[in-house]
Amino acid sequence: MSTKSSFRALVERREDAKAKYPHPSGSPLSISLSLQGDFTRHSDLVRLLREGGIGLKAAHGHLTRLAEQGRTELRIPDVSDIPAFINRLRSLDLDVALLQPPGKMDVRAIRERLHLTQEAFALRFALEPSTVRNWEQGRNQPDGPTRTLLSIIERHPSIVDEAVQKKP
């Protein structure tokens, strides 16, 4: 086979792939995938990830992590029907969990359950007292990573204690 026809075949395959996986028009989706048992449908997963806008190399990386660690976290850039996409992943015998920060947090309620003043709450969890005050008074809202931290404080404050406390 000549070089020119090999190149033409390569270009045609790329054009077919572009037509099959067009420019993103859906929503991004952040998920965690875990194995539920023996996973044998590797090519089906790669095909599904490609449909969601993930490149072949990245899809292979996620497949490798699934095989080695039993789980992988990924952001799928282009999902037009999120419930259907999740159902298709589940049909491959994968456990699917959405990865997103908690919604609106009631900082005052969290603080009061711990029987702390604003000052003590801020000091204990390495926050600025003015920031805690602004959250409680509705002037500002915690961002996504901060809501995640507040959720951990709400459920397991001792874990955050360990993270912020340093022995001299």
Domains of the chain, residue spans = 10-98, 107-164
| The model's pTM | 0.67
What does the CA dihedral 60, 61, 66, 72 come to, rounded to 10 degrees?
A: -130
As its CATH architecture, domain 10-98 has 2-Layer Sandwich (3.30)
For the residues 70-93, what does the mean pLDDT come to? 92
- C-beta separation of 151 from 105 below 8 A: yes
Q: Cα separation of 55 and 51, whole Å?
A: 9
Residue 85: exposed, middle, or buried by beta-carbon count in 10 A (0-12, 13-18, 19+)?
buried
The pLDDT of residue 167 is 85
Rg (CA), the chain: 23
Query: Average pLDDT of the chain?
Result: 87
Location of structure tokens 């490149």 = 55
Cα distance between residue 89 and residue 58, in whole Å? 17
Contacts of 52 (CB under 8 A, 6+ apart): 26, 29, 76, 77, 78, 79, 85
Total residue count of the chain as it appears in this document: 168
Specify the CATH number of the domain 107-164: 1.10.260.40
Question: What is residue 23's predicted lDDT score, i.e. its pLDDT?
Answer: 46
11-64, pLDDT tens digit by residue?
566 555 555 544 446 788 899 999 988 888 888 999 999 999 999 999 999 999
